[in-house]
Amino acid sequence: MRFITYLILALIALALVIIGFANRSVVTLTLLPAELVPFTKYNVSYELPLYMVVFGGIAVGILLGFFWEWMREHKHRSEATNNRRERAMLAKELEKIKADRKQGQDEILALLDDNQSRA
């Protein structure tokens, strides 16, 4: 199974390299349209190969998607943390109740109760 995973990743990497070589032409990216430059008197432009623009867009999209999912699942993570704390508190309280109960019992009854809880 690991071999198949590596094979698929190698094929994806090969496809990305081929796409990169096929799209080496340089494109100009500008921050604002030319019509807004007289109003802002400021515009930034970069010249990059097309494959960098495409792969950069994909990477930014994936990162934004991961962040969006992380934010969306925050309520589930906080609820799980609260449940874990409550479960630990209840388990500690149960152990305390069992210990208090054993102190008030006869030794034989305490042993019987201990054997029943193990079964």
Q: What tokens were used for 117?
A: 């809880």
What per-residue string of b and e applies to 23-42 under the rule 16 or more CB within 10 Å gives b? eeeeeeeeeeeeeeeeeeee
pLDDT at residue 13 tops 70 = yes
For the full predicted model, state whether its pTM sits above 0.75: no
State the CB neighbour count (10 A cutoff) for residue 44: 8
Instruction: Determine the pLDDT at residue 37.
Output: 84
Instruction: Determine the pLDDT at residue 60.
Output: 96
Task: For residue range 45-104, list pLDDT tens digits in order.
Answer: 999 999 899 899 999 999 999 999 999 999 999 999 999 999 999 999 988 888 877 776
Instruction: Determine the pLDDT at residue 109.
Output: 65
